[in-house]
Structure 1
Amino acid sequence: MLDKQSPIPIYVQIEERLKSQISDGRFPPGAAIPSERELTEAFGVSRMTVRQAITNLVNEGLLFREKGRGTFVAVPKVEQPLSGMTSFTEDMLARGMKPSNQLLTFGKRKPDKQVAEELQLEADEEVFFVERIRYADSIPMAIERTYLPVKLFPELNEDVLAGSLYVFVEGTARLKIGGAVQKMEAALVKREDAELLHVETPFSVLIIERISKLSNGVPFEVVRSTYRADRYKFTSEIQR
């Protein structure tokens, strides 16, 4: 029962009750919590009060909503160091998680001016455009939109994209990856991306743009990724 005479707001009491149930394992990671209607009846409060409590827990990253399905306990965030250059597949395997992909788009196209400049391409050169949803343990983590010069990877196909692109680059294509320049910013998810990531708008995401180069300095990849902010946290080690 809630203490309605307490100076602690009711929605805060509900938050603390749900946090306790999450920490003691009643609602493990990935499990659905009761619906707003069920919580309203259980606590004897208004639906608005319950919704405020749930929204606060979503903002804290303890819960997440999936459109049409309900509200679930969040899996602990994947901690991604900003130093070093690894693929999504390599990252997830290193954390004991099972990576998978859903290929949305694959084909050749003429790049726009910005991508052509970033890949140092001539006006008539084409790129492969790859759009994938990246999953870890069947949970959507990010959307990747990648541009690759056709002249560097003429054998690229859908089978390759089921796994690690970097394994293909350094294995089949026998090219050595050097490094990358990467930019990151926070944003609100676009409506079309929200559906792919199974989140409701408004929702915070991390936008990462990377230009990757071979060891000889030739750019081989431009990738623009949209990461769920409730799934990722990025760390860096710095020294004065």
Structure 2
Amino acid sequence: MDTPALDRTGPTPLHAQIKTWIEGQITSGAWPPRFKLKAEVDLAQELNVSRGTIRKAIADLIADGLLTQTHGRGTFVSPHVVEQPLADRLVTFSEDLISKGVPFETQVIEQAVVPAQGRIAALLRIAPGTEVFYLRRVRLVEGEPLILLNNYVVYARCPGIEQFDFTMARLFQVLEDHYHLRLENGRRTFQAIAANHDVAQRLAMAQGDPVMHVEQQAFLEDHTVIECSDIWLSGDRFRLVAAVSRPGRAGLGMTVAVVPNDSSPPD
């Protein structure tokens, strides 16, 4: 391991110098995502500083999101985190990844024409039993599952859509380009929940780990609902970002609602 040349007489604290050095190791790729750091006591010995100095540098980097720490396992370089803006545009998660230059892979778990039931029929504003196109996929970033998606589309507006290869095609792109449907706007509800067995298995995490659940509705320009979906995002690799403004000035508003403490995902 290359060790830093610490200035022990200058005004910059040692923990800040060590923090800068670790940042350089991460940004240069010398320490890739999920790289395990040496134990604090070993780093302190190698750098000839106190363990408290190492602990302070690591704590600052954890606060910055560059490192993560798991009790009993150690300290690791954080995986790349995907930020989703809380924006006033209907941008899909795949479009957001593409715009950021983040490569991803799509695995299709299931796609079929099925009758809508219960909550899905209500979200799509159709009668129970009406045919919908059901599409279940996982998006992988750096080979690891990041997003689990269950999409439901009103089948009468897109007959034959089940024939598309959605490992390559993107759902909204097919609706707009092939079926000439204009998706005007949408509604998303975000809620942090605990992963159940199925979600945990699909996202390669432990049952009970935190995930962000998103309930989405997409509307056509005639205000009818064309699609609804349940989306689960890995809690340690997703960050929701909002740009807000003071009252009376133009900008995006944000409403926070307190919901019951029910960690189970939707039916």
TM-score in terms of structure 2 length? 0.67
Cα distance change on mapping 1:201 and 1:174 into 2, 3 Å: same
SS in 1 for 2:166: helix
Q: Residue 176 of structure 2 aligns with which residue?
A: 170
SS in 2 for 1:85: coil
Q: Residue 107 of structure 1 aligns with which residue?
A: 112
RMSD of Structure 2 on Structure 1 (CA): 3.3
Would you say the 8 A contact 2:191–2:212 is kept in 1? yes
Q: Residue 4 of structure 1 aligns with which residue?
A: none
Choose from 33, 37, 40 the match for 1:30: 33
SS in 1 for 2:157: coil
Q: Residue 260 of structure 2 aligns with which residue?
A: none
> Aligned letter for 2:203?
L
Cα distance change on mapping 1:155 and 1:100 into 2, 3 Å: same
The structure with the largest alpha-carbon Rg is 2
Shift of 1:22: 4.9
Cα distance change on mapping 1:122 and 1:182 into 2, 3 Å: same
Shift of 1:23: 2.5
Q: Can you give the 5+ residue segments of structure 1 that lack an aligned partner in the other structure?
A: 1-15, 44-52
Shift of 1:101: 0.8
Q: Residue 49 of structure 2 aligns with which residue?
A: none
Q: Residue 144 of structure 1 aligns with which residue?
A: 149
Separation in 1, partners of 2:81, 2:115: 37
TM-score in terms of structure 1 length? 0.73
Q: Residue 82 of structure 1 aligns with which residue?
A: 86
Q: Residue 188 of structure 1 aligns with which residue?
A: 194
* Cα offsets for 1:72-122 (capped at 9, x unmatched): 532332221111111222111111111221111111222222211221212
Moved more, 169-178 or 120-129: 120-129
Q: Residue 179 of structure 1 aligns with which residue?
A: 185
Cα distance change on mapping 1:32 and 1:87 into 2, 3 Å: same
Would you say the 8 A contact 1:102–1:134 is kept in 2? yes
Would you say the 8 A contact 2:34–2:79 is kept in 1? no
> Aligned letter for 1:135?
L
Structure of greater relative contact order (alpha carbons < 8 Å, 6+ residues apart): 1
Separation in 2, partners of 1:158, 1:40: 55
Q: Residue 166 of structure 2 aligns with which residue?
A: 161
Q: Residue 10 of structure 2 aligns with which residue?
A: none
Separation in 2, partners of 1:201, 1:167: 33
Aligned residue pairs: how many? 210
Do residues 229 (structure 1) and 235 (structure 2) align? yes
Cα distance change on mapping 1:207 and 1:123 into 2, 3 Å: closer
Separation in 1, partners of 2:67, 2:162: 39
Would you say the 8 A contact 1:119–1:149 is kept in 2? yes
Separation in 1, partners of 2:84, 2:199: 22
Choose from 207, 219, 222 the match for 1:216: 222
Q: Residue 131 of structure 2 aligns with which residue?
A: 126
Cα distance change on mapping 1:123 and 1:138 into 2, 3 Å: same
